[in-house]
């Protein structure tokens, strides 16, 4: 029981850290850059560009805030349920859920307060202009990736146990 509580705490602390970092970086961008301003960090690869998105990834569903509120609340409830129920299982799960929770709440705050999300990380991956994103998006994607890795590890372990 103690172990589970500790892992749960790590998930929530991680989520809070992501939310603080996400909101701080967005605040700094809004305070110091006009929309469209771009600061090259690594020429032709990484820029800090002030951008707003009223949609989801790749700007889909522009302005559909109610849809985003509902989906985000479902995502948040599902993540908290999984943290409460499964985070006792150590490994990557606690970190994955914490990162996803922080990312979801980070963008949710923007949508509720401003009906748009502040984006500023602009990268050109192999000269493809990847959509401009933010810390919350990165945290969500890293969380999804860690969740996937944990699932692959679990399935391999189950196969091994099955063979013994």
How many angstroms separate the CA atoms of 110 and 104, rounded? 10
For the CB of residue 74, give the shortest distance to ligand KNH in the complex, in Å: 9
CB 121 within 8 A of CB 48: yes
State in angstroms the smallest separation of the CB of 140 from ligand KNH.
4
Task: Decide whether 17 or 71 has the Cβ nearer to ligand KNH.
Answer: 71
Residue 22 appears among annotated catalytic residues:
no
Shorter beta-carbon distance to ligand KNH: residue 88 or 109 = 109
Which position's Cβ is nearest ligand KNH? 57
Q: Which is nearer to ligand KNH, 87 or 140 (CB)?
A: 140
Residues interacting with ligand KNH, by CB under 6 A? 53, 56-58, 68, 71-72, 75, 104, 107, 117, 119, 131-134, 137-138, 140-141, 144
Q: By C-beta, is 25 or 134 nearer to ligand KNH?
A: 134
Tokens of 160: 């091994």
We find the least distance from the C-beta atom of residue 84 to ligand KNH, in angstroms, to be 19
Minimum separation from the CB atom of position 25 to ligand KNH (A): 12
Torsion of CA 37, 43, 44, 48, to 10 degrees: -30
Task: Supply the residues annotated as catalytic.
Answer: 119, 137
């Amino acid at each position: 029981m103690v172990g589970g509580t500790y892992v749960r705490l790590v998930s929530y602390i991680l989520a809070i850290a992501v939310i603080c970092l996400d909101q701080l970086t967005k605040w700094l961008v809004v305070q110091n850059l006009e929309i469209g301003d771009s600061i090259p960090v690594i020429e032709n690869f990484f820029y800090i560009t002030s951008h707003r998105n009223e949609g989801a990834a790749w700007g889909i569903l522009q302005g559909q805030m109610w849809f985003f509120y509902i989906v985000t609340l479902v995502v948040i409830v599902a993540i908290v349920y999984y943290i409460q129920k499964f985070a006792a299982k150590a490994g990557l799960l606690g970190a994955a859920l914490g990162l996803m929770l922080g990312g979801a709440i980070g963008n949710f705050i923007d949508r509720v307060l401003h009906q748009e999300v502040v984006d500023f990380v602009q990268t050109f991956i192999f000269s493809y202009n990847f959509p401009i994103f933010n810390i919350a998006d990165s945290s969500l994607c890293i969380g999804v990736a860690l969740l996937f890795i944990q699932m692959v590890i679990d399935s391999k372990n189950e196969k091994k146990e099955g063979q013994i």
